[in-house]
Amino acid sequence: MEDILLKLKSIEKLVKSGIEDKVVERTVHKLYRYQSKKLSQDLDDVESRIKAFEGKYQIGCDEFLARYRTVELGDHADYLEWYALCDMANRLRERMKVLTS
């Protein structure tokens, strides 16, 4: 991971110095579109799995989280998975914000 960050910073310095390279430009745009599409697809998948739990238990994610955090619901396997999915959805949304800001 550190190696990737160093390489990206080096490319950033080159771009800031005025280098114009169509290959670099196309590659960065493709990488951005790829990552944006992947995050969106991952979020869609996670949200559809969350909706299945919401339908099964007839409560929304926010209400579920509030009740789960107060230990009102216990540690049923479905609840553990649902909680993990809600957490994953939140992390994916944050990553999308970072990407689009």
d(CA 48, CA 17): 45
Asked if residues 53 and 67 have their Cβ atoms less than 8 Å apart, the reply is: no
44, 56, 57: which is closest to 96 by C-alpha? 44
d(CA 20, CA 66): 52
The per-residue pLDDT for range 8-33, each reduced to its tens digit, is: 898 889 889 988 889 988 999 999 99
Asked if residues 101 and 83 have their Cβ atoms less than 8 Å apart, the reply is: no
Residues of the chain scoring pLDDT < 50 = none
Alpha helices in 1-101 (DSSP H): 2-16, 22-57, 61-69, 77-100
